[in-house]
Amino acid sequence: MGTGDRWPAAGFSLASVARRRRGTWQGGRPALSYQERTWSYDDLADRVDRAREGLLRWGVGRGSRVCVLMHNSPEWLGLFFGLMSVGAVCIPVNYYYRAPELDAMLADSGADWIATEDAFEDLLGACPRAAGLGRLDVRGLLGDAPLAPVDLGDPVAVVGPSADAPDPDPDDMALLQYSSGTTGRMKAAVHTQTTILWNSVHQIAELGIDRNSVTLLVPALCWSAGLHDLTLATLWAGGHVVVHPSRHLDAEDLLATLERRRVTHVFLVPSILRRFAEVAHTDRCDLSALRLVLTGGEPVLPELVESLVRQFPGIPLAPSYGLSEFPSTMTHLDPRDLRSRPGSVGQASLIAEIRIVDEEDHEVPVGTVGELLCRSPATMRGYHGDPEESARALAGGWLHTGDLARVDADGFYQVVGRRKDMLISGGLNVYPAEVERVLAEHPAVREIVVDGIPDERWGTVPRAFVVLDPDHHTSVAELAEFARARLAPYKVPREFVFRTDRFPRSAGGKVLRNSVR
């Protein structure tokens, strides 16, 4: 099916996902929980309808662009469905941004409105463009407080269309999903309700989601994995989403929540899984309800897998690969293949067709490294405000991911790094992810990032930044020897830089490689 095919049909939207169980026997079942609060599906549907009415009364309608700068909460999701019901464009904001980053995002997105909370008043006060935005009263819109009156003196807030406005067109722009900003300038993938729904529907079948599922939402909703991996699919299937607080993540507290809530599905980035591996007395945890621990965002190293399997025998860990450009779960590895396919991110999802190609977009032989291309009805429509980059990224109808990967004869993929991160040393390709994976097996290496430095003889040679495990000792000579025994000489780092602090990470848990350098 091509990206131009019109599914879902007009009249079915993301808001329908939130409303379809109202008044049925499932309406009283829990939809969203946060700490001691729970919204049933009836509650969620009522709040979405209140949000729709309030948004239209405030003049927020089809095509309005609304930034959402909030921590994880049921209100975040209730507002999202409300925005989808009026055809507005949701712009999730990374709450780790500083004022210059937020200002740049507001300028790039063309935002009209912002929905926020008290915790971000200082940030907004330091952002010049924020002063010109209309402010949405989230609690009022969702019916949890009196709705603030429309300020007719505000040029942004004008009386909008009536509450019986038509349903949005599913192929209208609905979401600007900004990348997590690990490198380069920020850019936003343009998604429609169609692409979002395609991205969610396949997860129900492939990841075993049903009305008895309990998904623990841990990643930030401003990040692709928070909103699009498991969360929307669970609500579509009639399951229960438990929202974990965004701040002060503690591994033991997280384990206790998994046990107490009888969680069946959760997405955890490798940096959090590493904390799990360090927790003592895990034999006391009852995680028998877990059906799937989806992970991704960075490579899942074999040493981490082995540590987790020792700590949690039978853990249903599923490494995956996806993008903000979608599908967000383009591949995933069946947990049963975890130890027999080390380093693999699994096979293509039901809605993803994948090719591995050379620089001329010709398919390469099995086992050969090339760029990973994907074709899917879930893929973005392009990059906001950048037709040239959009044309390059979607050339020939295929999403050019910029990631280097190989596939074996059984259709299992392994991602080896970013094309722009690849080093050429003496005419030979060096993939930082491969070097990182090997060196991470040394017991003294807690985290590692490999990049390149200029060299007069070879052009570029690898360099390694290493965060050491405080319980182990090593030296540059020892690490170099460890690498030489496992890697071709041109792949061995010529320089090691030891660090004591952990690497900075994005809201999505990815290492900020530019900051490390």
3-state SS string for 182-194: CCCCCCEEEEEHH
Amino acid identity of residue 158, one-letter, is V
Strand partners, 445: 468
Average pLDDT over residues 148-173: 62
Cβ-Cβ contacts under 8 Å for 360 (sequence gap 6 or more): none
Lowest mean per-residue pLDDT among 11-15, 79-83, 354-358:
11-15
Q: Residue 158: is its pLDDT beyond 50?
A: no
Burial class (CB in 10 A: 0-12, 13-18, 19+), 145: exposed
Q: Domains plus CATH for the chain?
A: 14-29+39-192 (3.40.50.12780), 198-419 (3.40.50.12780), 422-516 (3.30.300.30)
Residue 197 has what pLDDT?
96
Tell me the whole-structure pTM to 2 decimals: 0.84
- Which 8-state DSSP code applies to residue 511? B
Average pLDDT over residues 441-456: 89
Residue 504 has what pLDDT?
83
Residue 11 has what pLDDT?
62
Residue 62 has what pLDDT?
94
Q: Is 99 helix (H, G, I), strand (E, B) or coil?
A: helix
Please state the length of the chain: 517
At residue 63, φ and ψ (nearest 5 deg) are 90, -10
- Which 8-state DSSP code applies to residue 170? T
CA-wise closest residue to 494 among 464, 456, 457: 464
Q: Residue 259: is its pLDDT beyond 50?
A: yes
> What share of the chain has pLDDT > 90, as a percent?
66
Residue 8 has what pLDDT?
67
The model's pLDDT over 187-214, given as tens digits with 9 standing for 90+, comes to 999 999 999 999 999 999 999 999 999 9
Q: Is 85 helix (H, G, I), strand (E, B) or coil?
A: helix
Q: State which H helix or E strand residue 331 sits in.
A: strand 331-332
Residue 334 has what pLDDT?
97
CA-wise closest residue to 79 among 111, 117, 122, 120: 117
Residue 366 has a CB neighbour count (10 Å cut-off) of: 12
CA-wise closest residue to 267 among 96, 434, 72: 72
Average pLDDT of the chain, as a whole number: 89
The model's pLDDT over 35-53, given as tens digits with 9 standing for 90+, comes to 999 999 999 999 999 999 9
Q: How far is it, in rounded angstroms, from Cα 451 to Cα 418?
A: 11
The three-point CA angle 175-155-100 to 5° equals 55
Contacts 24+ apart (CB under 8 A), 332-338: 332/206, 332/207, 332/294, 333/412, 335/292, 335/293, 337/412, 338/305, 338/309
Locate tokens 């010109």: which residue? 132
Average pLDDT over residues 6-10: 62
First to last CA, the chain: 43
Average pLDDT over residues 471-500: 91
Is-contact 445 480, C-beta < 8 A? no
Residue 144 has a CB neighbour count (10 Å cut-off) of: 13
